[in-house]
Structure formats: structure tokens, C-alpha cells
Structure 1
């Protein structure tokens, strides 16, 4: 097995679920090593691995994406992973934007126990609560609390009676939930948001000031997020058996859907994550679960819950539907890997 390089990039950036405002500089720090099977020549790769690599480099859905890291694995660990281009590896720390939602939902359900969740909590997790943020102002100032991020100086979350019971994709639902549960926590320091989340999930995610925006402010690497996905498919979380519960329609034009970024056909939204599917012979069937970030970070677990996949990248300048672009590319690579045939 090969080990990745010795440095990764930490974004000194304030982040939002649907955008960003201002960035500082990047710094290099020693990176944890991570064993992932990687071929170094065509002869060293299996047919399936070579098909995946060729697809990443040549397919129409992947060519526009720039540099990224792709990985597929099981509950036992990675099966195969590779960087396309330079500067992005399994340990590159980046803003994960709305991929934060799945982590926060997992930690919240873990901390409360699903059986103890009330209807209002479930509605805040499946985005039908009516709590919507009025502003995309950054919550990345040092010392900001979850409570302050909720308030008028930042997110300015408000309750909209007419949206109660309707799907409205927005971080305000989770910000209200966090206000009531961990409102005094900050992004860094003693009793930070990530101290709470990592304790419940058993994950190694790093702290950042923007963590107080629980629906979109987290940062991490593929290796960090991998821990969550492996534990999820190994049934180590309350959420593991609840990936399809409390699901609501979330596609454009769907019943009781007010606002959604989903453009890839029919889909549902569960507790903090998308439920993907496909229609075959007129019947819609679940194919997987995901939580794509606006800058391109895409984590996925299949419907059988025996495989996970990640595509890690961050495109903030000129970003436009980057999560959907990553989804399309990642799924094309996965198909190539499973069939052993490069995909167009």
C-alpha cells in the first residue's frame, strides 16, 4: 500500500452552506498518513481500478471538475482511492459546506436517541420546520457562539408559519435545533462544537470558527469523513437504521416542496441527508444516501449499506451547482469501477 504525502491544506476561510464570504491564507501542517490501495502504473491496477481512473480523466461529467480525490470502500475500510491532478489527497482539509448536515444530524440523533425525538426535532432535521435563515452572513468570526450565529448579526433565523410542514432546503432548521441544544458552544476552544460532535460520532474532524454554522460550516478531509461513513454502514449509530425514516419529497415540483436545489429527478430528504433513487419500469427505488456540499464535497452510502464513496474537492470561486457536478462525476466513476469498463 502507498501512503499519501506529508502535508495537507487547511482553509483559513469562513464558510456557509450555500456560499462563502472572505478567505484568509492557507497553511501547511503535518498530515496523518492514510493507507488506501493505489496503483502507480497501468500494470499495477486491476481492470476495475483502471476503468475508474480512466473515467475520472476522460468522462464528460468529470472533465470540468478540476482536481479532486475519489474513494470507494466498505465498512472494513477503503477499497481504492486516487487523486486526479495535484494538491488534493485523502488528507486535504477543505470546507465541506452542506456535507456538514449529515454529520450534525448523525450526532444529534446519537445524542438524543431516535426513540426520544419529538415531532419538532424531526421536522428540523428533515427541513420542514418553518425555521429559515434570512441572511447568508458569515458565522466564522473567532469567539462566535452557536446562539449568536442563529441571531440577527449573522443568520437571522426566523419562523415562517406558511412553511411549516413544507420542505425548504435551508440551514435555519438545524441552526434552531443547535440553538436549543448547544447554543453556548463556540467553533474552537474548550467545549467547542466539534468536541461535542466528535464525542458522539467517534470522528476526528478538526475545529474551525465556522463550526457554529452547524448546517454548513464544518471543514474536513476525505479521511475524516470516511470514519463517519464506515461507522454508519457498520451500524454503529442510531442513524444507521434510520436512513429512510421521516423522509419527505424534496425534488423540484414535488408535493409540499417550497425550495430545493435538487435537479436530478425524484429524490427525498431524510434526517439531514438526501435519499437518492431511480425509476425503473415506473417504480422509484432508493439507490443511496448523500449530503453534497455547495463547493463540491460529496459523501455517499449505497442503499444496501455495504459501500461508501467520497469525492473531495473545493471550488469556491465561480461555484455553481458544484455538489451536483461532483455527484454526477462520482457516480460515473463508481459505475466504471463496478463494471470494469470506462464510462463516457
Structure 2
């Protein structure tokens, strides 16, 4: 994608527009820890300082039908070195606001597992547990958030009660049990916080700084973090620093409703998505064919990370609607892409 008419100044600006704070910046690659601090900003910057592309993104975030019911959120778009533009709607949610990642955890865990093993060393069973065709399913969707709980205990009858269902092996079934079985066999003694925690293991393999939480023993949905934490992971992914970087399409299976071999999927879009190693492969109908457009891992509370199919851009929409959550990952996906289209074209999305 050629970036035209969007030269960045390297300066931060804080713009108030219909209750939305927009931060536009460029040339700010990740620091050594990967979390770039916000520079000092002026609260008096007018919207006239925005480019037509930035203003289109702000207008879309404020008024688009895809965004107006989402509440407060943070959105950003960048590449492997730079955040091109970000905005935060409302108050209380910014790039450094930590929140439950829910199923956005899956991409992180799968990438750490792949980094630790090497793709060439994965067994067929390990691949099936990563692309959700192993037949290991949860008996209950428990949080496993009690202090001191281990990964193996989370797998067991006191929490998720994961068991093998032979009739589902080989079929795509979206469920955290696949990954919980994998983790129980590999890092089962690890707990959510403290010495040798789950995040200690994940951060070691991904060179990230994700925070610890008791829920992290639920590896398919219990991690916490911020847009800034996840940004570092996505930028390293784009820069080919992970084994996952070259395996984004490997072992992908149909994951859309009515697709061949699909037993259960939460995917509600008409797009025919596939599922790879711990993440979705988003496809759109373009020029008469289903075309891969990006990779993502939406969380059920609304956290949405994405990279484009060509690995030139990443995008994050960060929010958390834990109470009364209703298909929040899909809502965030629609809003995030509406803002992105507006930013790239300079035309607000209705």
C-alpha cells in the first residue's frame, strides 16, 4: 500500500472533536521495552491541524454506524517500526490502558508455542490443537482466575473440565480446550503470577512485556494487556522476528458457518474466514474470488488486533465490554476497518 498525502511530522497532537481525543504521530518506533511513552501535548490544538485523512478517521470513529455503539475505545494503525496514527474516543481508554484480551490471547499463546518448538518440529496433534481440530473441548467456560491456580488445574474438572471428544477430532470447533490441553502438557505447572508464571514463559519467547494476571493460566482467553503491549507483538510479527511470521497461513482450515468440516464457529460475518495456528484468516470476495486480506484474533470483550495479508500494516482497536458482552469482537472488527478505510482514503465512513 502506497502512503500518499500523509507525510508525518513526528509531533504529537491532541485534538478534541465531538468528545474524541485523536493522537496523530509518526517516526516513533518502539523503545527498548517496546512501550513508547506519550510525548507532552497541548490541549488547545485545533482540528485544523489534522490532515484530511486523519479527520476522516476521527469523523468515522465518532459517527459511523459501525462505531457509534462501541463506547470508549483506542484505535491505532502502523507498520513494523512506526505508529502512523492513533485516536481514543471518549476517556479512560488509551494506548496504555490494560484490559482483558480474551481470545486475542490465542494469537499470543500460539506464537509463543511455535517460537518455543519451531514449526518444523510440530507434531500433527500439536497442529490440530492450534487450529482447533483436535477434539479437546471444554466442559465449562470457566475463568480460572483464582490466585495460585496452575495451567493443569485450569484444564481439570474444578475449572474447564476439558475432555477428548472423538467425534469432533478433525472438525473445526472453536473452543479453548484445544489450547488448554496443549498448555497442560507443556507448561502445566505454571501459575498466573509469581515465579515461573505463564506470562514469564510467553514474554520469554515473544520478547514482550505482557503483564501477569491470575487468569493467564487460561491460555486461550485469560491474558491481559494494552494496545501498546500488543503493538510490540504485532510489529515483531511484521518484521519476521517470530516463527509465526512465516506460518500465518499454515494448517488453516475453513472456519465459517456452513463450511466443510466446521462443527462450531462464532464467526458471524458473511466473509468466509479460515482458522490457522491460533488466529483467524480473514477473506473477502474481491474480483470474483475469495481473497485473503488479513489475520486477526478478536476477543469477545472487544479487543481486536490485525495485520494485513501482505504484512505491511498492523491495526488495533482496544476496548473491553465485559458486562453484557454481545459479539463485541465482530463489532470492533467492523469499526476498526471502517476507520482504516477512512484514514486511507480521506473519506469518512457512514
Which TM-score applies when normalising by structure 1? 0.90
Task: Choose which of 193, 218, 225 in structure 2 pairs with 1:220.
Answer: 225
- 8 Å contact 1:36–1:81 — kept in the other structure? no
Cα deviation digits, residues 212-263 of structure 1 (max 9, x gap): 0000000000000000000000000000011011000000000000000001
**Deviation of 1:33 (Å):** 5.6
| Paired residues for 1:25-104 under 5 Å | 34-35=37-38, 40-104=45-109
Cα deviation digits, residues 148-186 of structure 1 (max 9, x gap): 000000000000001000000000000000001000000
**Secondary structure of residue in 1 paired with 2:69:** helix
Provide the aligned C-alpha RMSD in A: 1.6
- 8 Å contact 1:37–1:80 — kept in the other structure? no
Task: Choose which of 321, 331, 350 in structure 2 pairs with 1:315.
Answer: 321
- In 1, distance between residues paired with 2:349 and 2:205? 39
Is 1:336 paired with 2:339? no
Cα 1:36–1:322 shift into 2, 3 Å: farther
- 8 Å contact 2:115–2:206 — kept in the other structure? yes
**Secondary structure of residue in 1 paired with 2:109:** helix
Cα 1:199–1:90 shift into 2, 3 Å: same
- In 1, distance between residues paired with 2:120 and 2:36? 38
- In 2, distance between residues paired with 1:338 and 1:260? 31
**Deviation of 1:3 (Å):** 8.9
- In 2, distance between residues paired with 1:196 and 1:272? 17
Cα 1:53–1:280 shift into 2, 3 Å: same
- In 1, distance between residues paired with 2:294 and 2:348? 22
| Paired residues for 1:1-344 under 5 Å | 1-2=11-12, 34-35=37-38, 40-265=45-270, 266-344=272-350
- 8 Å contact 2:143–2:222 — kept in the other structure? no
- In 2, distance between residues paired with 1:161 and 1:38? 58
Cα deviation digits, residues 8-65 of structure 1 (max 9, x gap): xxxxxxxxxxxxxxxxxxxxxxxx7634899943221111111101100010000000
**Deviation of 1:280 (Å):** 2.1
Please list every run of 5 or more consecutive structure 2 residues that lacks an aligned counterpart in the other structure.
1-10, 15-34
| 1:18 corresponds to | none
| 1:14 corresponds to | none
Cα 1:33–1:45 shift into 2, 3 Å: same
**Secondary structure of residue in 2 paired with 1:63:** coil
- In 1, distance between residues paired with 2:193 and 2:322? 23
- 8 Å contact 1:34–1:90 — kept in the other structure? no
**Deviation of 1:282 (Å):** 2.9
In the comparison of the two structures, how many residue pairs are matched?
Answer: 317
- 8 Å contact 2:211–2:225 — kept in the other structure? yes
- In 1, distance between residues paired with 2:41 and 2:54? 9
- In 2, distance between residues paired with 1:169 and 1:150? 16
- In 2, distance between residues paired with 1:280 and 1:229? 26
Cα 1:51–1:142 shift into 2, 3 Å: same
- In 2, distance between residues paired with 1:248 and 1:36? 44
Please list every run of 5 or more consecutive structure 1 residues that lacks an aligned counterpart in the other structure.
5-31
- In 2, distance between residues paired with 1:47 and 1:159? 54
**Secondary structure of residue in 2 paired with 1:64:** coil
- In 2, distance between residues paired with 1:104 and 1:42? 40
- 8 Å contact 1:295–1:319 — kept in the other structure? yes
**Deviation of 1:281 (Å):** 3.6
